[in-house]
Chains A and B, each alone.
Chain A
Amino acid sequence: MHARINLAEQPARPPRGGNAAAGARTLIAAREFSVFYGSKAAVDKASLDIPAGFVTAIIGPSGCGKSTFLRAINRMNDLIPGCSATGGLSLDGQEIYAPEVDVVALRKMIGMVFQKPNPFPKSIFDNVAFGPRIHGTGDRSSLGEIVERSLRRAALWDEVKDRLGDNALGLSGGQQQRLCIARAIAVNPRILLMDEPASALDPRSTARIEDLIGELRGDYTIVIVTHNMQQAARVSDMTAYFYEGRLIEFGDTGEVFTKPKEKHTEDYITGRFG
């Protein structure tokens, strides 16, 4: 069932900066984790701990394996023929790639937002209600409640409350992306994976999405892949830098951006390449 979130009693947001995230409980742990397309390693023996309740950004140039790593967490890579994974990737100590894992239950726990807003060609209501419906919530009134709560949480409610029956494709790009976020959180996930969620949006919509990420921080563990380094610096607590499939550096965002340990990271961040 979907636990009701009382907005008034939200836990205090974890503090930003000051290495707070580095000491937090680990939710997702990768150990020598690799993903192969055929025989080519897209992610090459990455090891990192993603802390619960914080925002972790994954940055790196195109083709560095950051999206592949993200899509490994909810096993979306399973859809790609010839894709395989080795090493350890665990969620709360449970191996994600273990054969007994129920992928449906796993994905229910992990919401995902894609690069291009991809609402279904259905009404706004049906989009948000899609997840709860397939997980067995049938009656209209509790669906309505979930839809309203999710849309409020995604800061979209006021804009669409009078036209929930309209086709979602009639919304603007930024609204569509927030709808996708509402759709993802409607199934009450613990983790939100965001694959360059603002790269297809204009600056204003991007700012709203970034604000929203700040709002959701604390309630969800967020892993965001981004091309935009300013964005990573603005929204994230932890940053992982991937290059050609390998994890080059992982640490507190402030540290990675101000005094990176690796020369390579510094070159990338300062715009020498990428």
Chain B
Amino acid sequence: MTVKGHLEAGALGVETVGMTMRFGAFTALDHVSIGVEPGSFHALLGENGAGKSTLVKCMMGFYHATDGQMMVDGREVAVPDPKAAHALGLGMVYQHFTLVPSLSAAENLVISREDAPRVIDWRREKAALTAFMARMPFAVPLDQPVRALSAGEKQKLEILKQLYLGRRFLILDEPTSVLTPDEADEVLGHVRALCQAGKITVLMITHKFREVTAYADAVSVLRRGKLVGSGKVAALTHADMARMMMGDETLAEPAPRAGAAGAPILSLSGIRARDRSGLKEIAIDRLEVRAGEIVGIAGISGNGQMELMEVLTGQRPVTAGDVRVEGGPYHATREEARVKCVRYLPEEPLHNACAAKMSVTENIGFRSFDVNGSGTRFWLANGAMRRQARDLVAAFKVKTASLDAPMASLSGGNVQRAVLARELTGEVDLLIISNPCFGLDFTAVAEIRARIMAARNAGAAVLLMSEDLDEVVELSDRVLVMSEGRITYECSGAEADAVEIGHHMAGHA
């Protein structure tokens, strides 16, 4: 396979030849050769841990490949560090934002430039930036600090930054994981247009087949560090790609739905709370979740879901209204949560539901370490805690080096599994979940969704907040949409229509 150099409008062709990366005895990349034609939109598919990140980190000079070469613009190049990659015109948009939160968008753009002037003439720079924005297919506010931007705006700014820096080969690491379907279509549509115009070449890491078929020209699939397939997207079906990605592994089936909704468990009325910025208000007039049903709240991140979650977990005070669980008032104290069997899986569980530096055993024991029958205990029952942790780690397939390893050493999916193991143990009447599958791979997603469904079938009331619309529609008996801190739409899970919901999410009621 030989890849052409570059197009007249600037797009670069890039090729890896036999790229191999070993960490000690572990081979993360095994002779991976992929060719990305100039001006093409190339998708890189694979499960978590398949080596996608390692591959692009080698390409960008974060890692030094153990073996193999890289060709840029038809010539063999050495990329000792990211600076060298940048100089070649290679850029990357990371999964985690790399913008500086306290700097404004304009400051972020100017300072990221290699030739940022010693003294910045803001009037001139602002004029230049405004002119640049006018040429771009999408825009973001320039003067606000980045921390005040929504996730979608941050992602757009990340891409704009790369274009502003004159990069001609762009690696996008799951760029749409934080965007709504509409936003994702908008952003990817613009990126594709830039590719077709021959201005840039794109290599996109993704989990979403829909994005591959809708936007990509070619696809390469990695599994366990090996290139297991590649080709033109037009010649492949979703089933082909899934087969390449998963090999012969079988997926956990979501448990079938059983039973009808019972008595109301959670009811909110007239809730008012300040949002993160302290400027806007969260207003939930009425929200009810019954036993044996999953109520899904869809919405773009930053529309009050996080604040609602914090109200329910007791992390955020309400200014008015009340939360009732099983008919009684609920203030999310530990005591109340135990008596009423309320369990949580908040987003970013490592941060919101774990003590990161404490061990897996201790974290799994958080619900029960001080319980002794119906009373409390002073001395810990270390043996029982260990046994419980060992059983749960096995039952929920948590991959950890040891039970004494700090929670922070686990990967995202395993932290999620460990917290879920803790929260789903014992009687569960109300389960409140936020983004349970964010950033997880295929197998983990299917398994976690099946567990949630099983809890519902066992009679728990489940409130699910998720930015992934497919997830909400797949799991929920009722679907609500949250926008601007309010619930703006409701329908049953069966009649959910992605377009209708998408419009309410985007605030087009």
Q: Do A and B originate from a single complex?
A: no
A interface residues, Cβ below 8 angstroms from B: none
B interface residues, Cβ below 8 angstroms from A: none
